[in-house]
């Protein structure tokens, strides 16, 4: 068990730091809105993993991934939500105002957006289905419990890693807070990230 958890943890750390939709989303949120926004967004993203872990543990992920129609519908819904978020970014004022001590959105809004970002990316279902089973340490024991243990470890690692990225990005945003060109670029960076993740979800 210990050997499997160590291997799983090392692989999870590498994945968390590898460029991807989730950590890029946390970074752009922290750059644009400060460290607090990034941390709360991270909590939302990580919380969504509970849902995916539950689906995996009880076999629902395999059922969903086996049905192309269901899977495609989920992908379209997720992409449309991201396009909506991109539209919201474009609807805001051109120059973003930085203040690390003030949240631009409420805590609930940021948390909910993080959760929805996670839940509306059906590729996470497939990722969990492909990644987690390889680290089960005893197929003859309680599989559901093993999946939940792996899920909790993955969530803790993601929380720590993404929080670090949020602090780093928040610090950078404070250093460049008075730069109007930078704030304008960040607005478009957020827009590109949302559209980019939407395209990523739709790609087979």
Query: pLDDT tens digits for 55-72?
Result: 888 887 677 667 778 777
From the list 146, 116, 126, the residue with the least C-alpha distance to 65 is 126
pLDDT at 101 exceeding the cut of 60: no
CB count in 10 Å sphere of residue 108 = 10
d(CA 149, CA 119): 20
Per DSSP, the residues of 19-57 read: --HHHHHHHHHHHHH-HHHHHHHHHHHHHHHHHHHHHHH
Q: What is the pTM of this model?
A: 0.76
For residues 171 and 94, the model is more confident at 171
Alpha helices in 58-142 (DSSP H): 60-66, 68-91, 107-119, 123-131
Per-residue pLDDT of 28-48, as tens digits, reads: 888 878 888 899 999 999 999
For residues 172 and 104, the model is more confident at 172
Residues 82, 173 contacting (CB under 8 angstroms): no
pLDDT at 177 exceeding the cut of 60: no
Average pLDDT across the chain, whole number: 80
pLDDT at 52 exceeding the cut of 70: yes
Predicted local confidence at residue 15, as pLDDT: 79
């Amino acid at each position: 068990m210990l050997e499997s958890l160590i291997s799983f943890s090392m692989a999870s750390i590498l994945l968390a730091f590898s460029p991807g939709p989730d950590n890029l989303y946390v970074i752009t949120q922290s750059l644009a809105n400060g460290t607090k926004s990034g941390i709360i967004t991270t909590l939302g993203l990580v919380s969504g993993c509970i849902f995916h872990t539950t689906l995996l543990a009880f076999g629902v992920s395999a059922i969903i991934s086996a049905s192309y129609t269901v899977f495609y519908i989920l992908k379209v819904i997720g992409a449309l939500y991201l396009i909506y978020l991109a539209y919201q970014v474009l609807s805001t004022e051109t120059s973003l105002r930085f203040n690390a001590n003030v949240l631009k959105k409420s805590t609930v809004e940021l948390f909910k957006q993080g959760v929805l970002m996670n839940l509306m990316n059906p590729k996470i279902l497939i990722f969990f289905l492909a990644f987690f089973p390889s680290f089960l340490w005893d197929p003859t024991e309680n599989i559901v419990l093993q999946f939940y243990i792996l899920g909790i470890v993955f969530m803790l690692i993601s929380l720590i890693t993404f929080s670090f990225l949020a602090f780093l990005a928040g610090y950078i945003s404070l250093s460049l807070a008075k730069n109007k060109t930078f704030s304008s670029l960040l607005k478009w960076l957020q827009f590109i990230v949302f559209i980019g993740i939407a395209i990523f979800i739709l790609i087979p």
